A and B are shown apart, each in its own frame.
Chain A
């Protein structure tokens, strides 16, 4: 015995010496990698091992290849590169040993993708093995094919798969069926090849073969109408199979918690659902079965519910009788009460899909759905909320909004904003009266705090502005609401709406008529505190400061205190706040007579609701086409009224301007004044800062004036044929009507400060225009008000003496140029003009705009740098200040040269301006 052991030892040692040392075992490598304490250590072990694996690969070592690939697969799972093992996998597959094949195929499934270079090789080895006699070798090949088959592999190997579908071995038939499934998904036209085999497979008794066949047939039916029609005839067979399955007694092999083969049942139901989709006859054949499954399935475990869930889908997809549908919705209702969160979740997602099909049936489970709003699982709460919004109707509006408001108050921040916005649209859609609507919006603002989106603020403001009847109540409620919140920092949207309302309608609040008695000082204290609170954001402060300014016009006795409060912001770090404060100071100081009219109440903001109502009405269709029609050839008279009704759509109007003809001006005039009401802009300060970029200072002396003329290549008298027609068109327009049809030309109305910071109004106002430059007077901007107000304004014309009569200097198919005299800057011997360049279409972008001008020698011209060279899509203007020195009071004449790029094509235009009004630019 001892001798034998010694001999063994000797031989062992000898062999060890002769042979290379065996490479590290797989499990040892795993152990080593797991023992690594740091990532760097692990990387070191892996790198060392990878090097030795590469060595064995290079040496074509067939004994250890299998082990090397297995190790490589582990390394690959850890996230290290392993592509160098791809070819080795193919070599393993080609080996006659089963272990090699098993690991080789495993590696192929993990490492190979559908790339071209390995495709031919793998196809060949697969073809070989698919024709093998050993069932497990064929099995491995089928498994691999089913996992990684590409289009080319599918085409090349489909015949082999088809042959195996008819194999006598169930183990291979089931695998082949799923391979065929993969092939059909990759290359649907290969389907036909498998059809004959499927007919027999679908009648199979073996569960595994049957489930794979059903999977394959379902896929084929979804892809080909012919196959669909063929298998439709099989519905009775399938129903019978399913019934046998349910009724068969206990079979331990296929039983899952008392349910007979749920996997197969679900697949069969799915195929029935596909075959019976929207077909009454098919539905008839299945009704009985579906009812049976729906009522008899054991529901205490997840398996049973999985089957019921599939049954519900089948009932909904197939045109089942109404009784069955109610049964299905009731199953979902029961799911909602289930203790398993997963089942509650699928119930809610399914109800969401069902709700359009059968509102009433789902409505019956409303209270259960509402209970789900309190579910501990946030994904369920979110689903329940979505479903709740779908369930709101006129009749349950009250209860649903109450529940949802409660939910809004308690839910997670990330759900709050969605919920708030949805509630706003529900309120808008179903509100029985404006008062209810307002109170709901107020509650939303209170419940959602800072998580409401900006659109909620603007739509609340719009509602209040548009409904005079609720204004006194609204301002009081908002004031109370704001006072009662714990900290204003957490409810800034509410504070913003409150500020706006107090600014606009503060007189209602302080008149003593309101239910609550409020002292002016109380309000001012509150506002002051708000302005200085470190946690209040800038937008809220902007609202606040403007509200104060407005309040000074409503409640004259507070003016002094308001001035003090606001003046403190004259040196605020934020340039916009500073500007507002300084402007207000200037307004009080030098233009106090202007203050009242300027801070007048805003005209009602046209509501989206009305716009929607009109669109939904009979006129809706007509309105849609209006933009096109007007530019086309509708007679002026008949369009007049229509344009007016469309007045609040500034978009359409800008199109209008683009296509206008002289005769239509009076029509547009009406409409335009409405448009202006919907434009807000606080003319944010940057406009005065960004001028520094391009400098084109053609300081005008007599000599340089000549040079400037020269650049246009001729004396000013020369007319340029190309622009002739446009000139005539422009020149023939009578000036007064022109002036009123363009934004902010003459007659600056004294109506209002827009008190809504531009950033917050984006939601309601589609296009903003900065109408008046920010350099010389309140950048806060003025509006043309209602048409009837224009008459009053004419009387106050002297107030607006800062601006003289403007004129349209130039217009072509893309741009217009208006000259606005800045009287405040002008002197008797010089006129300061602001050149305003705009684009006619909102859809166009103008780039590289250069405005050049020249005047006769008797005049002197100075151009300041322009505000920019680009007019973006959606509006905007370029402004540029020019000064014309006219010591000899000569007749004004000007030559313009414009270069710009529109739609990628550069344009160069020359134009003479000589029809200045006699008193142009003088006060």
Chain B
């Protein structure tokens, strides 16, 4: 089971955090800081895995963004790379050649997509099409109930 997923930039700025195991806010920050520093200091030649406490940390860099997951000992780190890749593909499909800015400005969308791919730290849907379909349907629901017209300053803006 995945314990958490973090997205952060090359400058070490957190872009997304998803915790499947409860930690107090303080611990979360400490863990994040520790892992961000460790991973950013690793050289590109190094492999994508590191042993961290009793977990395995799998990370991968896509352009300026690092995707980092902590999984348990019996989990498959190569497959975790595939999960990360699947998430990136979904973001890419949804935003259309996604970039870091898309995720910054539409962070809630990025969370929604992740929540359709994973649940409770496990894969819930292996079909890209189904994930995007579910997201589109929910976006539509949101759109329908947001009043359109003269006053466009509605919703999240």
Distance A143 CA – B134 CA, assembled complex (angstroms): 13
Per DSSP, are chain A's interface residues mostly helix, strand or loop, or mixed?
Answer: helix
Contacts of B141 in A (CB 8 A): 98, 136
Distance A342 CA – B74 CA, assembled complex (angstroms): 17
Distance A305 CA – B82 CA, assembled complex (angstroms): 11
Contact of A67 with B157 in the complex, beta carbons under 8 Å: yes
Contact of B82 with A256 in the complex, beta carbons under 8 Å: yes
B104-124 interface code vs A (CB 8 A; 1 in, 0 out): 110110011001000110111
How many residues of A are counted as interface, with CB atoms below 8 angstroms from the partner's CB atoms? 78
Distance A504 CA – B91 CA, assembled complex (angstroms): 72
B37 within 8 A of A: no
Contact of B47 with A113 in the complex, beta carbons under 8 Å: no
Q: Interface segment, A70-78, A280-288, A561-569, A730-738?
A: A70-78
| A–B complex contacts, Cβ < 8 Å, 29 sampled | A8-B150, A25-B157, A30-B104, A78-B14, A97-B145, A98-B141, A99-B156, A102-B142, A113-B23, A113-B24, A136-B138, A139-B134, A147-B20, A178-B120, A185-B1, A212-B119, A212-B122, A253-B128, A253-B130, A263-B79, A263-B83, A305-B78, A310-B76, A341-B47, A341-B48, A342-B77, A344-B47, A377-B47, A379-B46
Q: Which B129-151 residues sit within 8 Å CB-CB of chain A? A: 129-130, 134, 137-138, 141-142, 145-146, 150-151
A309 within 8 A of B: yes
A334-371 interface code vs B (CB 8 A; 1 in, 0 out): 00000001111110000000000000000000000000
A187 within 8 A of B: no
Contact of B108 with A346 in the complex, beta carbons under 8 Å: no
Shortest distance from the beta carbon of A483 to any chain B beta carbon, whole Å: 38
Looking at B23, B76, B119, B128, the one whose CB has the most chain A CB atoms below 10 A away is B119
Contact of B20 with A28 in the complex, beta carbons under 8 Å: no
Contact of A306 with B76 in the complex, beta carbons under 8 Å: yes
A527 within 8 A of B: no
**11 more A-B contacts (CB under 8 A) besides A106-B111, A341-B48?**
A25-B156, A78-B14, A113-B25, A136-B134, A215-B122, A254-B126, A266-B79, A341-B47, A346-B78, A379-B46, A379-B47
Contact of A377 with B45 in the complex, beta carbons under 8 Å: yes
Q: Which A541-579 residues sit within 8 Å CB-CB of chain B? A: none
B39-82 interface code vs A (CB 8 A; 1 in, 0 out): 00001011111100000000000000000000000101111011
Q: 8 nearest interchain CB pairs?
A: A25-B157, A306-B78, A146-B120, A178-B119, A345-B47, A306-B79, A182-B120, A341-B47
Q: Which single residue of chain B is at the shortest CB-CB distance from A25?
A: B157
Contacts of A379 in B (CB 8 A): 46-47, 49-50
Q: Which single residue of chain B is at the shortest CB-CB distance from A185?
A: B1
Per DSSP, are chain B's interface residues mostly helix, strand or loop, or mixed?
Answer: mixed
Distance A188 CA – B120 CA, assembled complex (angstroms): 16
Distance A266 CA – B81 CA, assembled complex (angstroms): 13
Contacts of B46 in A (CB 8 A): 341, 377-379
Distance A207 CA – B123 CA, assembled complex (angstroms): 11
Which residues of A pack against B, CB within 8 Å?
A: 8, 11-12, 15, 22, 25-28, 30, 34, 66-67, 70, 73-74, 77-79, 83, 97-99, 102-103, 106, 109-110, 113-114, 136, 139, 142-143, 146-148, 150, 171, 174-175, 178-179, 181-182, 185, 207-208, 211-212, 215, 253-254, 256, 261-264, 266-267, 270, 302-303, 305-306, 309-310, 341-346, 376-380
| B22 CB contact (under 8 Å) in A114, A178, A254 | A114
How many residues of B are counted as interface, with CB atoms below 8 angstroms from the partner's CB atoms? 60
Contacts of B111 in A (CB 8 A): 106
Contact of B157 with A342 in the complex, beta carbons under 8 Å: no
Contacts of A136 in B (CB 8 A): 134, 137-138, 141
Distance A796 CA – B125 CA, assembled complex (angstroms): 90
Shortest distance from the beta carbon of B24 to any chain A beta carbon, whole Å: 6
Contact of A26 with B130 in the complex, beta carbons under 8 Å: no
Contacts of A77 in B (CB 8 A): 14-17, 107
| A147 CB contact (under 8 Å) in B107, B120, B129 | B120
B29 within 8 A of A: yes
B34 within 8 A of A: no
Contact of A70 with B108 in the complex, beta carbons under 8 Å: yes
Q: Which single residue of chain B is at the shortest CB-CB distance from A269?
A: B76
Distance A178 CA – B118 CA, assembled complex (angstroms): 9
Q: Which single residue of chain A is at the shortest CB-CB distance from B143?
A: A99
Distance A731 CA – B1 CA, assembled complex (angstroms): 72
| A142 CB contact (under 8 Å) in B23, B119, B128 | B119
Known: A15-B151, A147-B20, A344-B47. A264 touches B126 (CB 8 A): yes
Contacts of B126 in A (CB 8 A): 207-208, 211, 254, 261, 263-264
Distance A127 CA – B47 CA, assembled complex (angstroms): 44
Distance A114 CA – B145 CA, assembled complex (angstroms): 32
Distance A632 CA – B115 CA, assembled complex (angstroms): 69
B93-104 interface code vs A (CB 8 A; 1 in, 0 out): 000000000001
Contacts of A174 in B (CB 8 A): 119, 124-125
Shortest distance from the beta carbon of A691 to any chain B beta carbon, whole Å: 47
Contact of B124 with A208 in the complex, beta carbons under 8 Å: yes
Shortest distance from the beta carbon of B122 to any chain A beta carbon, whole Å: 5
Contacts of A181 in B (CB 8 A): 120, 122
Contacts of B22 in A (CB 8 A): 113-114, 148, 150
